Amino acid sequence: MSLFATPTGVLNKLEGIRQRFLWGGSEGRKKIHWVFWDKIIVDKAKGGLGVGSIKSLNISLLVKWWWRLRSEPFSLWAKVITSIHKRHDKDDDCYSLKTLTEVKCFIWRAKMGRIPSAMALSKQGIILPSTTCCQCNLVEETSDHALIRCSFARKVMTWILKWCNITIVNFHTVNEVLDYASNWGNCPKKKKRLLGICYGTLWGIWKARNERLFNNQLMCALKVVNIIQSITFLWFRHRGDGGGLNWTKWNVLPFNSLQWFFLYLF
Ligand SMILES: [Zn+2]
């Protein structure tokens, strides 16, 4: 189940089984169950039972597999998986759209500082062996530190800004980055693209942090930049303005295919 997006029909059936188990099963009251079910699957912090939906579990597992496949392309398991499934562009597209959903949710939480950084967890009373940032080992890990101020995050962001041909800006908070991207330049399409790239960057930095913290995997900044470039390329290939987007041009400058549009403005 974890390597493929589970069809909606199957997901609904699985949810149905779980619901019947929890409620003791009564077809006639299905509608009422669904109302309750929505509340049951949400986070405990939001007043739910924290059971989680099977669909979001499936999406999060897909994202994990995609990330590992990208970050360890030469490992034996990645080669085996790739040769068995002969990964095509279509699969990539599927992974990337699932990721986009996860990333949007992640950014929404990061904007409010509600991601599980060491300090955030510690403030909630969770005792951790250390609240120091696992990437630089220098200061306490807040969400703005992990995503923006940490030397590792800065390195990734610097590469990304260089790739976008933007003068390096010294950001301090997640909101600063998002505000900058939302107000950048005159072309709405370019603005949207930069914002998407910033989304991908913050998510990539967080993923690398998790790899280090939970899997003891040290990822170099350039590798993370590469993953960000791939995932954002796949996102924009789907969009209406993504026509003619090709990987080589994308790697040189992510706004390349929008140049013609820019010319019309002046
Ligand atoms: Zn740090």
CA 109 to ligand 1 center in whole angstroms: 20
Query: How far apart are the CA of 237 and the centre of ligand 1, in A?
Result: 33
- Residues 242, 101 contacting (CB under 8 angstroms): no
Count of CB atoms within 10 A of residue 46's CB? 8
Q: Average pLDDT of 57-83? A: 72
Distance from Cα 168 to the centre of ligand 1, integer Å: 19
User: Which residues have their alpha-adjacent CB atom under 5 A from ion ligand 1?
Assistant: 133, 135-136, 150
CA of 173 to the centre of ligand 1 (A): 14
Q: How far is the CA of 213 from the CAs of 177, 227, 262, in angstroms?
A: 24, 19, 43
Over residues 113-129, mean pLDDT: 94
Cα-to-centroid distance, 134 and ligand 1 (Å): 6
139 C-alpha to center of ligand 1: Å?
6
Residue 248: pLDDT band with limits 50, 70, 90: confident
Q: What is the mean pLDDT of residues 75-82?
A: 69
Compute the distance from residue 154 Cα to the ligand 1 centre, in Å. Answer: 10
- State the average pLDDT over residues 241-264: 69
Cβ burial 92-129 (10 Å sphere, 16+ → b, else e): bebbbebbbebbeebbeebeebebebbbbeeeeeeeee
| Model pLDDT, residue 2 | 47
Distance 198 CA to ligand 1 centre (A): 19
The distance of Cα 109 from the centroid of its chain, to the nearest Å, equals 12
Q: Ligand 1: distance of its center to the CA of 137 in Å? A: 6
State the amino acid at position 131 in one-letter form: T
| Percent above pLDDT 70 for the chain | 69
- Cα 56 to chain centroid, rounded: 13
pLDDT at position 247: 85
Query: Over the stretch 131-189, which tens digit does the pLDDT of each residue have?
Result: 999 999 999 999 999 999 999 999 999 999 999 999 989 999 999 999 999 999 888 88
Answer yes or no: is pLDDT of 67 > 90: no
* Token pair belonging to 175: 């909101």
**What does the angle CA 17 – CA 59 – CA 108 come to, to the nearest 5 degrees?**
120
The candidate with the shortest Cα–Cα distance to 153, out of 101, 106, 202, is: 202
CA distance 191 to 254: 11
Q: Tell me the C-alpha distance between 213 and 133, whole Å.
A: 9
Who has greater pLDDT, 221 or 58? Answer: 221
Distance from the alpha carbon of residue 117 to the mean position of ligand 1, in angstroms? 11
Interatomic CA distance for residues 239 and 234, integer angstroms: 9
Map out the domains of the chain as residue ranges: 8-87, 110-265
pLDDT at 153: 98
pTM of structure: 0.66
- CA–centroid distance, 220 to ligand 1, in Å, is 14
Of 235, 100, 233, 254, the residue nearest 187 (C-alpha): 254
Distance 148 CA to ligand 1 centre (A): 9
Given a cut of 60, whether residue 5 has pLDDT beyond it is yes
Backbone angles phi, psi at 140, to 5 degrees: -70, 145
